[in-house]
Structure 1
């Protein structure tokens, strides 16, 4: 029998946090700096103390914990930071580690312009051919708009480049013909010039992607769809490393081991934790908690080849070795807000326990002025779960990322007593439900 402490009764002085980011090519230091900035803001708003402090040993100043691990994307180390808090009358310490797969993301983004348009065609076919995109649209419109955005932008750029090239070719051909150049020469020169202009335009468009995010989003959706939902071997190997890191922490002296999966990182966390529990966890160990934030699980679990993920969702949803809280917000147009990822995929077992689906309610937990400022900043809102809220009521069970990761209560003790969001979506919409 599992004899780990009940979450509601357990006090936390020492916590190990594993953060799994979404599809992000950047170095994990950006998450440390985000945590530092937003924790200070939330502490000032909520009246507690929290600080990032240097870690002991080599690399402490950079937040780099040495040793083998899932990789930092820079040199194969393990990247994290230490947090000390004085919250709710208790002093706590947390060790936060980013489980990195940004190197895999960067590799998947190293595509030429032509290859990206090939990705667009293949990904669109996978989602459209058997009605998967339409089934996803029954859940939430926001993620579908986000999925169609790169398609529309990239096709618009292609049409604009071709139209510009055709206009230049036509005008130049006419001018060269009038100048007495033989017809074949005029056509060849004009065609070459038009093609060059079209290529130049596409290159210029790609250089603007740091503002448009069309290529980035296209690579994101293509990464999940390229195996029709099945993980590529490199990602499976990385998941095994994630599982090993979490398992090692369960043998150490922590009060809670908390896994946080954000965006695409949520479904990676599901598979890593399912593998972990199948292999066995210690009976007398830290409380094991899973917090999924801004999840986009259906974008993968609805695909025909996602049997592994569907099996993991079904398995994890009925386990008593962990607590799983899923937090989203309708204001986040990039997430499947308030969608129970197990139920909507159609794999909920009779004894489903998890996840407990809660709303971060951006329109209420952000002040009216802040909400008005941010409500059209779609990508920024997708990261709001990791940021400060300036209108929290101050209840112990508020969603506060920094109390959750650095406070004196387990995830179950803080949020487990809440009722599921009354607006949660549980209807099964997926066509593909096989577990293999």
Structure 2
């Protein structure tokens, strides 16, 4: 299919979520509701139908955009079970993760270098540390106050009945006071943890700890799942479709980098096969690639950056405080080779693509904004998630000739740049 006639009629889309324990069904419902909203705003037709797959969570999208009918099959590559397993930590274990993760990022100099680029994601990384320590401090203060009150009450009561001298009664009173301190402290900490669906302190702590646990190396259980994802995408690359589009959102972006690199090395991307495209959204690649043992990720970033047999568009927005907005993940990781082509770094420009009223509504909802790339824009510019995933234009053609964002950061920042194990 030559450049003049590359109209998409069939597409496979593989969505790799970030560190998310929620069932993948929510991604389908988000696509259905937000796709309908975007279609109404932009004047096209789109419909979503549930589908079945043993290996993925799937739905089918039918769209008519600019007079062209397109069928797209969307598969969520699920690793929520791994996320849930990594989050199944006791309260003491979570505080142990806090110490280990903070030490990893501080002692390696990674935290300092991350702060040179964007303050938002670093603040997001520090938030669970501050919040968990605040929770612990409040719990200990409350426990100490109540424990002290109980101790004094018992001692004074014993004195009133003349039992404070000898017999170890004072020791018993102090022991009960310490028991109250420990009990109240754990009760309050459990109370905070039960409300983490609003505070996100434990969730974020587990997220950062999962990447830092092996100092940037891929955990074995995740590596095995990524190999399974690779096999699923390889099958799609042998099918008669026009485009295979891989979407990596948040930490799913750096998973996608290594999966795509392995697909290419294995020869699954053929000149006579579907066009391969990669859309990274709200990426946090530096949180991993800056760590000392992330050689594999850095090697894969360098490898993909020079390939001419696929397209990589990286979309972020300064308004998203949970990502490294407009930071070229290859360049800032210090592995940009000669002849680098990718990624094309562009901005979703939330302050321009959302109306003033909508931006005011979402501005301080940080986690909701981190998912805005998968949602409708009421003043869309050249980024439309639904046209990209369900429209008649290849990702390569949609952004052909598009200049990267002028405010992108594309200088080496990472202290660790080795790509050898």
What's the TM-score once normalised by structure 2's chain length? 0.96
Does residue 244 (structure 1) correspond to residue 231 (structure 2)? The answer is yes
Does residue 228 (structure 1) correspond to residue 215 (structure 2)? The answer is yes
Cross-structure match for 2:132: 154
User: How much does 1:417 deviate?
Assistant: 2.3
Matches within 5 A, 1:151-190: 151-180=129-158, 181=164, 182-190=169-177
Cross-structure match for 1:60: none
Q: Deviations over 1:31-70 (max 9, x none)?
A: 000000000000000000000135xxxxxxxx3223xx3x
Does residue 417 (structure 1) correspond to residue 401 (structure 2)? The answer is yes
- In 1, Cα distance between the equivalents of 2:150 and 2:5? 79
Cross-structure match for 1:368: 356
User: How much does 1:321 deviate?
Assistant: 1.5
- 8 A Cα contact 1:293 1:327, kept in partner: yes
Cross-structure match for 1:195: 182
Does residue 432 (structure 1) correspond to residue 416 (structure 2)? The answer is yes
Matches within 5 A, 1:311-330: 311-330=299-318
Cross-structure match for 1:58: none
Residue 66 of structure 2, aligned match among 72, 83, 88: 88
- 8 A Cα contact 2:108 2:291, kept in partner: no
Q: Deviations over 1:69-99 (max 9, x none)?
A: 3xxxxxxxx2110000000110000000001
- 8 A Cα contact 1:261 1:292, kept in partner: yes
- 8 A Cα contact 1:325 1:416, kept in partner: no
User: How much does 1:9 deviate?
Assistant: 5.0
Matches within 5 A, 1:202-351: 202-280=189-267, 281-351=269-339
- Point out where structure 2 has 5 or more consecutive residues left out of the alignment: 159-163
User: How much does 1:143 deviate?
Assistant: 0.1
Matches within 5 A, 1:351-430: 351-393=339-381, 398-430=382-414
Q: Deviations over 1:397-428 (max 9, x none)?
A: x1000000000000011123210000000111
- In 2, Cα distance between the equivalents of 1:422 and 1:148? 29
What's the TM-score once normalised by structure 1's chain length? 0.93
Does residue 136 (structure 1) correspond to residue 119 (structure 2)? The answer is no
- In 2, Cα distance between the equivalents of 1:9 and 1:97? 27
- Point out where structure 1 has 5 or more consecutive residues left out of the alignment: 55-62, 70-77
Work out which of the two has the higher radius of gyration on C-alpha atoms and give 1 or 2: 2
- In 1, Cα distance between the equivalents of 2:356 and 2:291? 39
- In 1, Cα distance between the equivalents of 2:339 and 2:20? 35
- In 2, Cα distance between the equivalents of 1:229 and 1:410? 33
User: How much does 1:304 deviate?
Assistant: 0.5
Cross-structure match for 2:98: 120
- 8 A Cα contact 2:302 2:330, kept in partner: yes
**Aligned residues between the structures:** 410
Does residue 64 (structure 1) correspond to residue 52 (structure 2)? The answer is yes
- 8 A Cα contact 2:108 2:292, kept in partner: no
